[in-house]
Structure 1
Amino acid sequence: MAGLGGVEARRMFGGRGVFRAGLMFALIADDMLYFKTDEANVGRFEGRGLPPFTYLAKGERKSLRYFQAPPEVFDEAQAMTEWARDAFECALRNQKPKAAKPKSAARKKASR
């Protein structure tokens, strides 16, 4: 993902989250790479028959909005950059606004 720049992987949930600019746009679990999806890009994955990331929780199969990366991303740097950029753009579209700090906490910090 060097073509995208500023990418880092962090340990989480028995796998790794892949981040850029503080936003998680991919995950690695069980030696598989999954990219973040939403309504705008999920058809690209489904059209290729790529499966979603799933996990077992309390005996129930759950899934997240991450789909398996296509095989060519591991052989073609340009393909990796393109798919990773698409997933990062998805993360940008879906980022939640940061919650404002309570006023009392902000005052305490300012008085230090």
Structure 2
Amino acid sequence: MAAKDNDFLEFVTDQLSGLRGLTSRRMFGAIGLYHGENFFAIIDDGILYFITDEQTRPRYEALGMKPFEYAPGKFLRTYYPVPVDVLEDDIALQKWAEEAVAVQKRKGTKKPGKPRNKTTKPKRKT
């Protein structure tokens, strides 16, 4: 994790100090932000990305935001960067963060299930 991301994480968590239950975890060279068990944001290379859905994504796109590109030509199309003016306004940022948490809650926190055997045979009738 780059020192730049550590400094930026400190700034973001300070801006989101009103959002109780905020935690962060390192992941694949980036930082994931969680509200409880809800993974709702990514910090990578000094940029904050929030999760979006069909209800919230149009606002990001209308502001010219593009989806998170984690490698050249590889996109995570549900995460979009937070506009700088929102990032600098702690009240606006908290509102946008709460909306991102709500998106994740609507999607549901997915937990790994039991592996399924794809080649199951139908049970024989006796």
Would the TM-score normalized by the shorter structure come out above 0.5? yes
Q: TM-score, normalised by structure 2?
A: 0.71
Per-residue deviation at 1:21?
1.3
* Cα distance in structure 2, aligned partners of 1:15 and 1:98: 21
1:89 aligns with 2:102: yes
Answering whether residue 31 of structure 2 is matched by residue 16 of structure 1, we say yes
1:97 positional shift: 5.0
- The match for 2:64 among 24, 49, 71 is 49
RMSD (Å) for aligned C-alpha atoms = 1.8
Gaps of 5+ in 2: 1-15, 116-126
Larger of the two Rg values belongs to structure: 2
Identity %: 38
Alpha-carbon offset, residue 101 of structure 1: 6.6
Higher fraction of strand: 1
Q: TM-score, normalised by structure 1?
A: 0.79
Matching of residue 73 in structure 1 with residue 86 in structure 2: yes
Q: Which runs of 4+ in 1 moved over 2 A?
A: 96-102
Gaps of at least 5 residues in structure 1 are 103-112
